[in-house]
Chains A and B, each alone.
Chain A
Amino acid sequence: MVLAKDVEIEGNRVLCGKGTELTPAIIERFQRMDVSHVTVAGRPVPEEGGKTLKEQVHDVEQRFAKVRHIKPLMYLKKRIQQRLIDSRAAGSQKAEDADAGSAGQEAGGDHG
């Protein structure tokens, strides 16, 4: 797993920079320093609730169920769904890239 954002501690000091590969030693250090969470690239850990892409897209459909007659909101719905699809696609591509030895990742994922 690679850090997608700097890990900062009190006083705005950077404890660990963006792009660092997380190792057990670094994670242990975070724990010692009371770092509660970090942002990692891609989606290396399952999302909260472990929903599939299909379920997530369906959830968005549900949320917008009462406003199907409102055009701008239908556009918003489509874009939110598309972003979910794209981020999953980017995540899988990046996982493949990482397997192949490349670590260029952008999408944010939260690892508590």
Chain B
Amino acid sequence: MPARPAKKQGAIMVEPELTAEQQKKRDNIRKALREVKNLPTLPGIVSKLTRMADDPDTSTDQMGKLISKDHILAAKLLKLVNSAFYGFPQRISSLNSAIILLGFNVIKSLIISASIFELMEEQDVELWEHSLGCAVICNVVAKRLEINDPEEVSTAGLIHDLGKVAIKMELPRESAEVAALVESAEINRFEAEQRVLGLEHAEVGGWLAKSWNLPAKLVEPIRCHHDPASADNEPLVSAIVHFADIMIRGLGYGHGRDIWVPPLQPRAWELLRFKAADIDEILDEVEEKLWDVKGFSLDIKAEAATTATKG
């Protein structure tokens, strides 16, 4: 298959040249994803929250009250806020404190991720653990680089593979084909997606996040997590998610047969400006938190089992 270097400066990935037939297929898939029927829809509460946030008279208390109307969602939100991904030293027990500490954008994206991950937990525990682990590393790296709002970077890590969920739900046949190709050709999932679908999950996730009006700080890292050099506004956050995805795979939190550590983009490495000692210290910090990820995942599974028994 003819190949051309990826269009972005510093990129090391190679994109295959698309034939007319492949291009047509890609267009059809885009169309299918646009006319989605099965994709997770934005929970009604998010549009209400968006309206409230646009109103300067809205108070944190009012927002907290709205979220607490959905008990399950409120509980999940607090569980996420108190998990290792955000690393707050004190336990946050009220929604109001969570809103103040994390800010509206993070709360909004957490509500979305809580809904998406509900599906992920049922469908794909490995992807769930990979995403949680990625969020942990994002948080450690963001704090190390003294980024404003490290919580937003964690959230980007948590939902960076949103596109995989969308592809699996909307295109189950093609998704199975992708999984089979990953195994038979021993390639990364995004390469298999390019071959089967003509586009990959980062692009799908970015598009979906944009259609949900998530902030650019989240949309770009999702869209660019394989190619942070193509990020226009958030290159550093995209580089962090890119690196966290690599590190968590290196630590064995891959996805199904896609065990491969993807290439590190030179531009991302330049932006992070890490030395060997940084890698060691990050590994130190991350290790214990990853036990929490396992614990968190076990808690969720135990809760699901209890609910199923009660139901």
Q: Which residues of A contact B (CB under 8 A)?
A: 5, 12, 34, 36-37, 39, 59-60, 62-67, 70, 72-73, 75-77, 79-80, 83, 108, 110, 112
Contacts and interface: CB of A to CB of B under 8 A. Distances in A.
Interface in B249-302: 249-252, 254, 259-264, 269, 274, 276, 279-280, 283, 287-288, 291, 294-295, 298-299, 301-302
B91 A63 contact: no
B264 A83 contact: no
B274 A72 contact: yes
Nearest to B269: A72
Nearest to A70: B264
A39 to B, nearest CB: 6
Which secondary structure dominates chain A's binding surface?
A: helix
A110 B264 contact: no
B288 A63 contact: no
A75 B279 CA distance: 9
A99 B279 CA distance: 35
B247 interface: yes
A77 B301 CA distance: 31
A66 B263 contact: yes
Given A63-B252, A64-B250, A73-B261, A79 B279 contact: yes
Contact of B91 (A12, A34, A39, A112): A12
A82 to B, nearest CB: 10
A65 B259 CA distance: 10
B263 A76 contact: no
Contacts, number: 73
Contacts of B250: 60, 63-64, 73, 76-77, 80
Chain B interface: which size bin?
20 to 34
A45 B206 CA distance: 42
Nearest to B306: A34
Nearest to A69: B263
Nearest to B290: A108
Contacts of A75: 276, 279
Given A70-B264, A108-B288, A79 B259 contact: no
B298 A112 contact: yes
Contacts of B62: none
Contact of B298 (A5, A37, A65): A37
* 5 nearest CB pairs, A to B: A36-B302, A37-B298, A12-B91, A108-B291, A63-B261
Contacts of A12: 91, 93
A34 B276 CA distance: 43
Contact of B299 (A36, A60, A65): A36
B261 A83 contact: no
B246 interface: yes
